[in-house]
């Protein structure tokens, strides 16, 4: 895989993970305002974005597993980092929403 391709996949991961992160933070605000249906809808929308980011990531992993030499791209590495932190936020969001429901 050429560097340009890895960079484009990195941008794709960043875009989807960034959208998911924004939706998750919006869900937190909705939960804070006791709008739980909206919070849960936003978490589901974020999950859809995460699935798309995973598809791009899987493309990279599949090519590497097939023996393709993946060129290093800072953008791709940034995308991986962005996706990982968004996944952590998603895992925590369920707990945050539940805490707001109890309060």
Query: Which residues belong to the active site?
Result: 78
Question: How far apart, in whole angstroms, are the C-alpha atoms of residue 26 and residue 21?
Answer: 9
Report which of 87, 63, 82 is spatially closest to residue 15, judged by C-alpha positions. 82
């Amino acid at each position: 895989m050429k560097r340009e391709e890895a960079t484009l996949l990195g941008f794709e991961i960043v875009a989807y993970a960034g959208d998911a992160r924004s939706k998750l933070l919006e869900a937190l605000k909705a939960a804070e305002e006791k709008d739980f249906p909206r919070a849960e809808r936003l978490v589901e929308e974020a999950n859809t974005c995460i699935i798309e980011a995973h598809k791009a990531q899987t493309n990279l992993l599949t090519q590497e597993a097939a023996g393709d030499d993946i060129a290093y791209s800072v953008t791709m590495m940034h995308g991986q980092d962005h996706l990982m932190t968004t996944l952590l936020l998603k895992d925590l969001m369920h707990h945050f929403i539940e805490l707001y429901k109890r309060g």
